[in-house]
Amino acid sequence: MYYYNAIGNIEASRLGILGWAKKEKWMTYFMRRPRICSGDPTKRKSNNSPYGTTTSVAMIQHGLSLVASYIEDFCGNIWFLEFLEQFLKYSDENKGKFDIVAAC
């Protein structure tokens, strides 16, 4: 995240790294919970919203559609063929075998 100056969205059940990030003053690299997770995506985001995205079927489907759109738009710029192969083979039944897709 530092190298690309990117903001990471972490899973709500994996918040242990936030203690380290607060101590090291790296919290700017972690995004707060997206509005779509609140159940009311039209609700305005608060600066006090928690960190970490909850996992649900809706969130997984939303994330997969965002990644699919990205691939369609930028497939010519993706150098990691393993990522494209995993995304082509991805299935909900075997999602544990697709770490690259899950990370996206």
Q: Note the pLDDT tens digit of each residue in 20-48.
A: 999 999 999 998 887 777 666 566 655 66
Single-letter residue type at 13: S
Helix (H) or strand (E) holding 59: helix 57-74
Which one, of 104, 4, 1, 91, lies nearest residue 53 by Cα?
104
| pLDDT, position 40 | 61
Q: How far apart are the first and last CA of the chain?
A: 13
Classify residue 69 by its DSSP letter. H
What percentage of the chain has pLDDT greater than the value 70?
Answer: 88
Instruction: Give the model confidence (pLDDT) of 66-86 as tens digits.
Output: 888 988 898 888 888 888 888
Domain extent listing, the chain: 1-54, 56-104
pLDDT confidence of residue 81: 87
